[in-house]
Structure 1
Amino acid sequence: MTPPPAASTTLPTVETLVLDFLAYLEFERGLSRNTLDAYRSDLGQYVAFMDGRDHGVLTATSEDVTAFLDELAAGSTAADGTERRPAAAATVQRKAACLRSFYRHVRREGILEADPTADVRGPRKREQLPKVLTRAEVAKLLAMPGRDGSAEPIVLRDSAILELMYACGLRASEATGLEVGDIDLEDAMLRARGKGSKERMVPVGRRAIDALVRYLRDARGDLVGGGSERALFVNARGTKLSRQGLYKIVQRHAKSAGLDDRMSPHTLRHSFATHLLAGGCDLRTLQEMLGHADIATTQMYTHLSAQRLQDVYRDAHPRAQHA
């Protein structure tokens, strides 16, 4: 059944509602730029899908929403013949969450009386523990920049990036969002801006501090030149390093280290958390350092630590191995 609009109002355009929703997420919910970009893309894809159906976005039914999610999960063929591969369950789930949030906002604004997503359930996200490096693998990765003795500015920058991300468990957006003034070299502390622009203070290990000192003293000035860039990490042109640039740096050195070159900066964050727990760090302290709003998110790493213990036990104990 088509959900009726509020009778006494003239419906605004879908474009206006999307822009209003994104403004609400940015200014009232404080969501990050990356999340806003993802929601903008998801809604654009949904609007394009609904343009080819009998109902519009504001007269959509639960069947329309379900059809959109089903098409994502199954894959499709575009008008130009391009094959769209099936989306991962986590991607479909995220888009379903975006639509639920959008329609809840539209209802709060009095535009619709019924929510077409109320009875829609996206696919269940399969529980999959993230990849974690061993301590030996981390050491191998962090040794890649400058392994040939080079002290070029880009080499010193890459070394500082890898050391800092592992030392502090930073998200990619947090690392690229750092400014020079966010680092306290004397007290070995760092100010990170996490999701929702929330700030937290994180300790920085000695090796990361040493790498930062070398980068700031011998490399960053050469990269920036006479510019006034405030970002801590810059690219070869002396401007703020992008998240895409950071991914390429991590993947390049991972490949050189003989590791999976598809690993992401988040792999270092997962490794940081798992290694701290294995070393005796308590969950509340780890939660604060990671910037998790809910400790349930941090508890995932207890499973990683347990899994690592089981792997080591099976490999080492003579009675645990298969005959």
Structure 2
Amino acid sequence: MVTDNTHIGSTQTGASFTESSRSQVRSRSAKGTTQARARAQRVKIDAQASTEEEPTPIHLPTKEWHQERGAKKRTIVTLERAIQDYLDDHEGGNHSPKTLEWHETALGLMRQHLEQERGIASITDVDAPDISAWFVFMRKTPGARGKVRSERTIQTYARSARAFFYWLIRQNLLTTSPFDRVVFPKVGKPLIQTITDEEFEKLLLACIPPNEDGRFAERATVRNCAILWLFYDTGIRVSELTNLRLGDVDRKHGIMTVKGKGAKERRIALGQNCLRNLFYYVDRHRPNEEELTEWGSLGEDHLFLAETRRPLTKNGITLLFARLKKRAGITGKRVSPYIFRHTFAIRYLKLGKDPFSLQELLGHDDMATVKLYMHMNDDDIQEQKRKYIPGDHLPASMPGPRELRRRGFSAMANGLLSLPAPAPQRDLDAFAAGVAPG
């Protein structure tokens, strides 16, 4: 039997061709699938890109935009809301509680008047005549204590309101301030009063409680003396004294750290008399830890404590000075920590003549307030006047009455000058008749 190898080879060759063809087809098919998938993906991406919005160009706010935005806000802001936002802004800026209280009182009084007397509730409705009417109202209407407000109090309230309206402009809530067209209240500069050496001694003696003795009476005496010495030696504010802690006094260097307005700290050196009285109170009479624990005040580190073993308050200081003034018999003069601050400033300038260091010691941001102390107080003015009275320095005798000196005062006794002898009566008669004395 003859085998047809040719057919077999042909068959093998055909099978091989068929397999190769299938491989090529599969390769082309796979390649086509990949490309199709890629094309489909590209079509999808292009479709998404075509459907996206064009990017919005960035435009900076224009002046017209701010004005339009401010106009929308102004239509809805009431006085009550604006005042509260203003107080919140001050509190957020770490302003002192006293400043917040001052603004709240002044602006509350203004809002009450504008709403009740003028029918105004929106900030945009306030005009210059409304502010002027408020000034007149404050002058004629008694305050909370039944007394007519002083010009200085009215000016203080007006300053608060003016600052409020300028704040509204900065917040783009107003375009102009009614205070631009108002005559601002004026007040004269008062004479600066100080505590004399004699009065300070009387106040120290008045620290002893009358008709009281014992350990707690002695404690009150020592504490009050230390307080007076601290005010006299440093001129610090009431709030600064009540906030003092035990750690604020550097015993080694005799320096006290004071936390003033806006949490600003400053250092003040203390004198020997002040340190002696202060440490006598702290070391021997301030309640110890055992006593504080018994009273539920464990860990209390305020420097000055009340009888309740709690920190001494501003109101406590006010009551203390009222008692001391009455016991000392001082009349016709206000006795307060602020007068002690004046006394410190005036004496420091007279002794040191350095307003720049005084500015730092008092905790002022600028020299405006310090310049007030650079003007002599009334006692210094009268003393200078007596030294250089023009009428007492005339070179010759002048006609006049025989009684040339006031009772209780002698110019010669004060070493000022020698007074001329009385003029003869005939010269006085001639002077009265319009004839030159002969």
Query: Same fold by TM-score, threshold 0.5 exceeded?
Result: yes
Percent of pairs with identical residues: 28
In structure 2, the partner of 1:66 is: 132
Contact 1:69 1:122 in 2 (8 A): no
Question: What count of residue pairs does the alignment treat as equivalent?
Answer: 314
In structure 2, the partner of 1:269 is: 341
Which residue identity lines up with residue 75 of structure 1 in the other structure? T
Aligned 1:234-245 pairs, distance under 5 A: 234-245=305-316
Distance 2:77 2:373 in 1: 46
Aligned 1:203-282 pairs, distance under 5 A: 203-221=269-287, 225-226=292-293, 227=297, 228-260=299-331, 262-282=334-354
Distance 1:122 1:317 in 2: 47
Deviations 1:103-154 (A, max 9, x none): 1122222222232222223321211122111223223323432488876222
In structure 2, the partner of 1:46 is: 110
Contact 2:209 2:221 in 1 (8 A): no
The alignment status of 1:97 with 2:159, answered yes or no, reads yes
Contact 2:78 2:122 in 1 (8 A): no
Aligned 1:144-155 pairs, distance under 5 A: 144-146=206-208, 152-155=218-221
Distance 1:101 1:320 in 2: 57
**Structure 1: gaps of 5 or more residues:** none
The alignment status of 1:285 with 2:357, answered yes or no, reads yes
Contact 2:193 2:377 in 1 (8 A): no
Distance 1:297 1:256 in 2: 32
Which residue identity lines up with residue 370 of structure 2 in the other structure? T
More RCO (CA 8 Å, sep 6+):
1
The match for 1:18 among 74, 83, 86 is: 83
Contact 1:50 1:57 in 2 (8 A): no
Judged with a 3 Å threshold, the aligned counterparts in structure 2 of structure 1 residues 46 and 313 are, in CA distance, closer, same or farther, namely closer
**Structure 2: gaps of 5 or more residues:** 1-68, 387-408, 423-438
Matched residue SS, 2:71: coil
Which residue identity lines up with residue 55 of structure 1 in the other structure? I
Distance 1:320 1:65 in 2: 59
In structure 2, the partner of 1:198 is: 264
The match for 2:367 among 289, 295, 306 is: 295
Which residue identity lines up with residue 283 of structure 1 in the other structure? P
In structure 2, the partner of 1:113 is: 175
Judged with a 3 Å threshold, the aligned counterparts in structure 2 of structure 1 residues 110 and 140 are, in CA distance, closer, same or farther, namely same
Larger radius of gyration: 2
Distance 2:254 2:338 in 1: 22
Task: State the Cα distance separating 1:190 from its structure 2 match.
Answer: 0.8
Contact 2:78 2:121 in 1 (8 A): no
Contact 2:71 2:173 in 1 (8 A): no
Higher helix share: 2
**Bigger mean CA offset, 59-68 vs 308-317:** 308-317
The alignment status of 1:159 with 2:225, answered yes or no, reads yes
Deviations 1:225-274 (A, max 9, x none): 22122321121111121112112212222222222374111111111121
Distance 2:148 2:281 in 1: 43
Judged with a 3 Å threshold, the aligned counterparts in structure 2 of structure 1 residues 117 and 178 are, in CA distance, closer, same or farther, namely same
Distance 2:281 2:91 in 1: 34
The match for 2:194 among 112, 132, 150 is: 132
**Bigger mean CA offset, 255-264 vs 186-195:** 255-264
Deviations 1:42-64 (A, max 9, x none): 11111111121232241111111
Aligned 1:179-198 pairs, distance under 5 A: 179-198=245-264
Judged with a 3 Å threshold, the aligned counterparts in structure 2 of structure 1 residues 212 and 63 are, in CA distance, closer, same or farther, namely same
Contact 2:168 2:174 in 1 (8 A): yes
In structure 1, the partner of 2:99 is: 35
Distance 1:126 1:309 in 2: 17
Which residue identity lines up with residue 374 of structure 2 in the other structure? T
Task: State the Cα distance separating 1:93 from its structure 2 match.
Answer: 0.8
Task: State the Cα distance separating 1:319 from its structure 2 match.
Answer: 4.0
Matched residue SS, 1:118: helix
TM-score by length of 2: 0.65
- Superposed CA RMSD in Å reads 2.9
Matched residue SS, 1:220: coil
